[in-house]
Amino acid sequence: KQEVTQIPAALSVPEGENLVLNCSFTDSAIYNLQWFRQDPGKGLTSLLLIQSSQREQTSGRLNASLDKSSGRSTLYIAASQPGDSATYLCAVITGGGNKLTFGTGTQLKVEL
Amino acid sequence: GAGVSQSPSNKVTEKGKDVELRCDPISGHTALYWYRQSLGQGLEFLIYFQGNSAPDKSGLPSDRFSAERTGGSVSTLTIQRTQQEDSAVYLCASSLGQVNTEAFFGQGTRLTVV
């Protein structure tokens, strides 16, 4: 059974810092990994999708990497801003089924 | 529509009543997912539809929960005889259906059972 873990559970940083969020998964037979953000009381917004054959994806200040063999992904946020404050979730699709298995998230707060 | 649409956005119901939650996926998306997010908890998979295939119902927590998808588009999640522990945000997502495509979520329905 696929299990997804995110560390840290919560993170508080001053504005302008670069930061890294971590995601690990137990079954490396994944099809893809997707990063989302969730604002309080809202749904999930897709940030980046990395297919299993890819090593990284970039969108603006965000860069996600994938090391499938070691079961890890990182989300790098450059020059953090208060508007980046949200919960960040990673999810994987594993062979044998198409459902997304989610991590428990990292709650990020970027302070002025 | 431009995105996944869910209705209602909020629903308060009395214990024991039945509720129906609606999801309109992105046009052309063949895959549709329902998830549940309880307060302070992670996302719990409920059910997955893909085209005309039999749905994956492995996440439904009890036989009080059911879902259907009519005409391969709109989906309805029904909870019968609601209990207080059913209180949660119910999230719907859709995708193009291939395993390497992005999933897009709606804003969710917040269900409160009193």
For the stretch B29-68, pLDDT in tens is 999 999 999 987 889 999 999 988 899 999 999 999 999 9
Three-state SS string over chain B comes to CCCCEEECCEEEECCCCCEEEEEECCCCCCEEEEEEECCCCCEEEEEEEECCCCCECCCCCCCCEEEEEHHHCCEEEEECCCCHHHCEEEEEEEECCCCCCCCEECCCEEEEEC
Flag if A98 and B48 touch (Cβ within 8 Å): yes
For the stretch A56-99, pLDDT in tens is 999 999 999 999 999 999 999 999 999 999 999 999 998 656 78
| Chain A interface with B: residues with Cβ < 8 Å | 31-32, 34, 36, 41-46, 49, 51-52, 89, 91, 93, 97-105
Determine the pLDDT at residue B39. 83
* Chain B residue with the nearest C-alpha to that of A97: B56
Flag if A45 and B105 touch (Cβ within 8 Å): yes
| The pair of three-digit structure tokens given for residue B20, joined into one six-digit string | 């129906």
